[in-house]
Structure 1
């Protein structure tokens, strides 16, 4: 009987069928889109880890070789959870062997590793789990207080989206069920139980949703493929990035379908449960929903509207208050989407200005092509002349960096520094007192001899290789900020030498100084603001090395090559020069990275645009949920609104005044997120400007006014359209006929 009733009921209520089908289609589309994108993001990350780090799940460093190693390998193979045991010859040495393991059950990796460590009597340092790879499978070290949270984050976002869809679809199903409340009252009066009514409604929802669920899932995965293709096109020029390949796993498809079906059923069950409990007499009268009863005390919005528009404003405010619960998703979604969109654009604008000022514009004349050669010492590098002779190269500097310290007597500080309170007043805890003076960090920049001589000439110092040059400046942090630094001389102007020391303060010798300067070489380097930066010629560095007077290396050796092209060099010329440098270095057997300034800037801009696009799409998705809720409310409660407006008509209101109620309600709903967001965003921008010490005029010149205005216009136009359609459906009927209905409450 119930199947026949449901079939007949659905045939006579095509609007309800369309509403439920659209709800199921939307739910399955969004969930399939998220499932597809998240699965592909996870798969891409796993592929990257496997490609860059390997597929091993654990590594053991065994202090044995030969027969002892064979015995250890046999012991490892006896563990039930160990799948493969592989000897890594590249990492093994004459006195140690590196063994890589994979496991049958990833969840048992850490437990099995502990048993292996005890069995082979290894230290914790000799046992290494592939934490990054395992975390992508939700397997984390139980002893790690901060495990990676990428996959839990993606699952959390998916859960929040599913919950938002449940709340949205609940209103959709409640609207369709509310329209048939009178028939439910008839069924209840003839003996239908609440359980039977609930099952009937769920049966109808499932029958209507099956085809839309399948269609929405296919459309969602197709949209995910399109998004991935767009990302590949946008990131095609990013160096080192592998194109993402769209893929699907059967479990992902099944999970998307089941989650969409569960979302639809839960969304239908919530209103079905409530409506099935309405007493038959109230259902027969078509009782209004409980949440449509206005509050006794007028809300603040109602009072403001009454003050502005009189009785029409009060009626519109009461209508909004009565539908406060059903419009909750719209209010929250629109507010969060507009606030997130505006704050995101303002943040990226400020970040872009800061990056441009502190990096790209600051160093635009310092480098065009940069090569970094790890595990290489300056004395072993032999391509300086060949690089300088490349076509288009105006200047070539080869250098390396090390770290030392200087024992600085207190009276060696400049008079300006002493007048400001001394090093302790400026550097605070960074100043280390030592034997009546200070142990000052001394970054060492060792230049090739030709570059050092050019630097001396530019600084007006003697062109000699018999001493170093001191960058004689210290940041006056008491009277300037990091954005506009002011400097004081660090040491007295007549300083001819400094006592070089190791990091622990052990003296190494007196370093002669050719002179002092407040302008460093034209390099892409940021120097410590409270350190004595020393620039050495390569020959002096090698001489000190032969005398064993150099500080202990504080970092691995690394040679840096800085090339400058012509003024106004183009990106294509930079790329050609980069290719020539790479070919020259590769031909000589040097391994390293080569980059150029203009491509790096373009890549940075594309990455920021990509981040803005992803976050902007999320904000649009959030706004679409809110706007869908607005359309459901304006087009779904037509019957209730007609009875409501029929009462107003009987009290003497004109059709024009009735129509104005819709516009007042729509204006309040549309302007609320704007009125709340703009002051909050202005305050947030003011705080960020204050923290970054940026000139507000710079931000105002680049403020994202147009995209914010377009987003606001989208909200305004969409809500206006929703209320225009609602007004047309409500006022297009003959309201006078409703006045003849004796059941009109």
Structure 2
């Protein structure tokens, strides 16, 4: 009675003393919780920090390369259009892009207060400005970094979403480590708290006790782990900068850490601690004192079922191991989920980067390796103002083309499309919203590639077209997206080739038109490092032709390009010599940037190696996550099983039989995540291969099989080690004494 009254009235001090005493006397259990909280907070902080810095770097790269705008509108405006656009609801800023605007058309870059409304507001702004929707463009690479995609796009970019998905998988796995450690520690004390409950302790007091222990054990490890995670993030950013120091055109990554990232890390860790301590207390509050006292901490199987497969493979020990695993089913669920998520994140990340490398090789290096060796971009230079054309063409053993690009649209009668297009359901079925039709006339994008006269004449000679007169060569092809995919495109003729002229219009002012003779139609573009729109009628014209239509069409891009292709295979040193010769020709009067194909490949390989290093480090972290959970779960539950194994020995089981049980359980615990993960990974990989239209054999040839097998071997090895250490502890203890006492500590 006195003890009951003391518990009711002695409240806080008694429970505080009890919690402190329990922590001191049960150092192994306390250390398990401390380590779990520290590791989880550290890795969670590191992963969140790396993801945030990676995202911030991507945004910075896009802004540096493409500008800080969200929507863009082009047209023949008066300059007061800027103030009109700024008065539009949700518009934050509107500025004239001086680099892209010319005397006739203005390019206005727009930013919004709520950028998620950009795809809704830009058409309204275009309508208010009196220009067609074709004059509107969106900064898709920047918007997609903020997870904002065109609602009309059926295949939005999913890279950032995929990274976020993997981050969430790993974070859930980390959070489960803390929960699992608490579950192991608290479940062993049901019997003890039952005794307290029988002498008057209320569920509220027991919950207070457990929360006190959680606070005492986890506050310092969580804070320490979070701060060390921030420091490791800073170190990782500096290491990436050192490794990527020689990459041309790369801006240095700057460490940045938003307070919200820290708040999320701390909140997630402490909420996990709170929930992990609350759940056992809630379970205890539903048990009667008698039920709790009768609970010895020994694993119980409510309904015994035969483990047919294990019994068939391993005999009696397999049957007993199966029953033990079923008795632990609920407790092992957390460990299985954590290991599965860790392995799944590991396998998916490796597979994704493998597929990404294959795709990059397809779409860039293999595609353009025979198109260029050296590229020079002449900044803010019109092709008609470039005075060194003859000197460029005179470079020894090289083929060169000097060109500029401009934007326009063209009008094409409905009857002019080819029979092949009609058989596919018409232009609307293929190009959908990329073309507009009104009064039997299609309005189609018609990008213009302006080539120096001698290069244009040589191109015309190659395709069998006369270049004696002014006019354009039309790239007469359209992607047959019904019978082919974007990876392996097949083209059909766009037009019927029975027209002698094309009507070109200014993109910003459709009333400004020019009729240009068609010199010929072709499906073979000149050898340039250019990607052409799938549903556009690209026009290749000479500089002489452009000078006649420039005033009407306008919309020329500000830069001029020089493409140099060596007539023989060159080494990096030889290409560098060409760069030096080209630099000497251009002199100091022109601002330019130079690219070298071989150097570009080396830089790309260096970047891929950097990515692999980062991925490898993350994989190591993922392995540690799984291993930490294996030890916290396996060692914790083995300590509760002294009575179980004492009973087995009392009926004749030998130590060898017990060891066999341990190995069987270890095999199942390690094998279950593998059996769950491999099919899921295979499905995800198949979906990614299908979505990217790659040949599955290409992936299989470079599939990350060895790292995945190493992860599996590591997983099995550490689970076996955990069971070995736990089994060794059990075999050393006095199992006869374990049968006599209810003390399981």
Provide TM-score, normalisation by structure 1: 0.73
Once residues 123 and 458 of structure 1 are traced to their aligned partners in structure 2, the CA distance between those partners, rounded to angstroms, is 45
* Corresponding position of 2:362: 357
Return the structure number with greater relative CO, CA threshold 8 A, min gap 6: 2
State the alpha-carbon separation in 2 of the partners of residues 634 and 570 from structure 1: 58
Aligned residues: 693
The corresponding residue for 1:397 is 401
- State the partner residue of 2:330: 325
Deviation at 1:562, TM superposition (A): 0.5
In structure 1, how many angstroms separate the alpha carbons of the residues matched to 2:685 and 2:44? 34
Displacement after TM superposition at 1:348 (Å): 3.3
Deviations 1:563-604 (A, max 9, x none): 12363333455456557656765723346x543323333444
Range 709-718 or range 172-181, more displaced = 172-181
CA distance in 2: counterparts of 1:90 and 1:443, whole angstroms: 21
**Equivalent residue in structure 1 for 2:31, among 6, 10, 18:** 18
Contact map agreement 1:333 1:622 (CA 8 A) in 2:
no
Unaligned stretches of 5+ in structure 2?
Answer: 1-13, 71-76, 88-92, 104-108, 118-127, 132-138, 149-156
Q: Please give the per-residue CA displacement for 1:610-630, whole angstroms capped at 9, x wherever unaligned.
A: 555555655554554343222
Aligned partner of residue 237 in structure 1, secondary structure: coil
What does 1:615-630 correspond to in 2, within 5 Å? 617-618=617-618, 620-630=620-630
Deviations 1:641-696 (A, max 9, x none): 22222223333333222222222222222222333333444455455555655444
2:347 maps to 1:338: no
| Residue pair 2:173, 2:337 contacting (<8 A) in 1 also | no
Q: After TM superposition, list the pairs within 5 Å mapping 1:41-60 onto structure 2.
A: none
Asked if residue 264 in structure 1 is aligned to residue 288 in structure 2, the reply is no
Equivalent residue runs for 1:423-434 within 5 Å:
423-426=421-424, 428-429=426-427, 430=430
Distance 2:420 2:641 in 1: 77
User: 1:357 and 1:39 mapped to 2: Cα distance?
Assistant: 29
2:677 alignment partner in structure 1: 677
Distance 1:393 1:732, change over 3 A: farther
> Structure 1 residues 652, 2: closer, same or farther in 2, change over 3 A?
same
Q: Structure 1 residue 184 and structure 2 residue 184: aligned?
A: no
- 1:371 matched residue in structure 2: 376
Partners of 2:284 and 2:684 lie apart in 1 by 45
Inter-partner Cα distance in structure 2 for 1:481 and 1:64: 43
SS of alignment partner, residue 188 of structure 1: helix
2:640 counterpart SS class: helix
- What runs of 5+ residues in structure 1 fail to find an aligned partner? 70-75, 77-84, 95-99, 111-121, 126-130, 141-147, 414-420
**Structural mapping, 1:728-743, within 5 Å:** 728-741=728-741
Distance 1:360 1:245 in 2: 29
Question: In structure 2, what is the Cα distance between the partners aligned to 1:355 and 1:499?
Answer: 40
- The superposition leaves residues 114-166 of structure 1 with CA deviations (integer Å, 9 ceiling, x where unpaired) of xxxxxxxx9999xxxxx99x999x9x9xxxxxxx9999999999888776555
CA gap 1:378/1:649 in 2 versus in 1, 3 angstroms: same
Alpha-carbon separation, structure 2, partners of 1:170 and 1:27: 10
In the TM superposition, what is the alpha-carbon distance from 1:366 to its structure 2 partner?
A: 0.9
Measure the CA separation in 2 of the matches of 1:409 and 1:154.
Answer: 45
Whether the 8 Å CA contact 2:638–2:727 is kept in 1: the answer is no
CA contact (8 A) 2:663 2:723 kept: yes
- Contact 1:205–1:268 at 8 Å: present in 2 too? yes
The 1:287/1:580 distance shift into structure 2, 3 A limit, reads farther
Superposition TM-score, scaled by structure 2 size: 0.73
Question: What does residue 647 of structure 2 align with?
Answer: 647
The 1:425–1:607 alpha-carbon spacing in structure 2 relative to 1, beyond 3 Å, is: farther
3-state SS of the aligned residue for 2:563? strand
CA distance in 1, matches of 2:25, 2:210: 15
1:483 to 1:323, Cα distance in 2 relative to 1, 3 A: same
Give the deviation of 1:364 after TM superposition: 0.8
- What CA RMSD, in Å, does the superposition of the two structures yield over aligned residues? 6.0
> Counterparts of 2:665 and 2:40 in 1: how far apart (Å)?
28
* Per-residue deviation, 1:723: 2.2
Match runs of 1:105-116 below 5 Å = none
1:523 equivalent to 2:528? Answer yes
- Sort the Cα spacing of 1:485 and 1:250 in 2 relative to 1 into closer, same or farther, 3 A: closer
CA contact (8 A) 1:171 1:632 kept: yes
Does the CA contact (< 8 Å) of 1:406 and 1:498 recur in 2?
Answer: no
Return closer, same or farther for 1:262/1:151 CA change in 2, 3 Å cut-off.
farther
**Residues in 1 aligned to 2:684 and 2:197: alpha-carbon distance in whole angstroms:** 56
Deviations 1:354-405 (A, max 9, x none): 4323431222121012234466443222232333455x76121112345565
In the alignment, what sits opposite 1:561? 562
CA distance in 1, matches of 2:214, 2:696: 55
CA distance in 1, matches of 2:143, 2:699: 41
Whether 1:700 and 2:713 are equivalent positions in the alignment is: no
Partner of 1:508: 515
